[in-house]
Amino acid sequence: DVKVTQSSRYLVKRTGEKVFLECVQDMDHENMFWYRQDPGLGLRLIYFSYDVKMKEKGDIPEGYSVSREKKERFSLILESASTNQTSMYLCASSFRGEQYFGPGTRLTVT
Amino acid sequence: GEDVEQSLFLSVREGDSSVINCTYTDSSSTYLYWYKQEPGAGLQLLTYIFSNMDMKQDQRLTVLLNKKDKHLSLRIADTQTGDSAIYFCAESMGGGSYIPTFGRGTSLIVHP
């Protein structure tokens, strides 16, 4: 079975802090994704990556950056956390369109 | 642009059938998916259908695709309380990126 893990299930950070969310997949998938999920808004794509060191902006990249130094790991970075970035963050990897999701990180910015 | 629409809520009684509906706008969609999200968890791929198919059945799940009307449905037979979750419809065109477009999700509530 494909396994996608995220470094934290719950995270509380202060406004202005730099935040790192880590995601690791074990199936050698080339494509990886970061989404945020908010009530009533569904999933919104922040960034995705086709391969190591490759990244593409999704629908809402503002305030975020990403890093993919190794194929199995895709990191989401909040350079200066703000309260409007309080959300559930979901990482996924994919093969031929079938996406496999991690359990999510619920981030609260106070 | 691409859009996927779903109703937000569905309430059914245990043992009844549930039908969750979805419409999409991109006629070039190749793959259509249903994902399930249980409380506090990530999304889990339930099933998918290729655009050249009309129906796919997998145990209690039946997916129907009306390509002319761009309408997708997921039927869950003999719905159980464990089926309570959010169900997401998604579509993608295929190709190298396979980036799906998701609906906002339908919350299925199953009453005992």
Burial B64-88 (b: 16+ CB within 10 A, else e): bbeeeebebbbbbeebeeebbbbbb
Q: Does B102 contact A42 at a Cβ distance shorter than 8 Å?
A: yes
Closest approach of chain B CAs to the CA of A81, in angstroms? Answer: 22
Residue A10, pLDDT above cutoff 90: yes
Q: What are phi and psi for residue A30, nearest 5 degrees? A: -80, -35
Distance CA B48, CA B45 (A): 8
Q: How do residues B58-85 score in pLDDT, each as one tens digit?
A: 999 999 999 999 999 999 999 999 999 9
Q: Does B48 touch chain A (CB under 8 A)?
A: yes
pLDDT tens, position by position, B43-62: 999 999 988 899 999 999 99
pLDDT of A13-43, one tens digit each?
A: 999 999 999 999 999 999 999 999 998 888 9
Question: Is the per-residue pLDDT at A71 higher than 60?
Answer: yes
- Is residue B95 predicted with pLDDT exceeding 80? no
Q: Are B92 and A103 within 8 A, CB to CB? A: no
Question: In chain A, which residues have their Cβ closer than 8 Å to the Cβ of B1?
Answer: none
Chain A residue closest to B98 (CA)? A97
Nearest to A48 among B35, B48, B99 (CB): B99
Band of pLDDT at residue B2, cut at 50, 70 and 90: low
CA Rg value for chain B: 14
User: Inter-chain contact A98–B45, Cβ cutoff 8 Å?
Assistant: yes
Q: Say whether A7 sits in a helix, a strand or coil.
A: coil
Q: Tell me: pLDDT of B1 over 70.
A: no
Tell me the mean pLDDT in the region B15-34.
Answer: 91
CA distance A64 to A59: 12
Closest residue in chain B to residue A97, using alpha carbons only: B98
Which of A96, A98, A103 is the closest to B41 by Cβ? A103
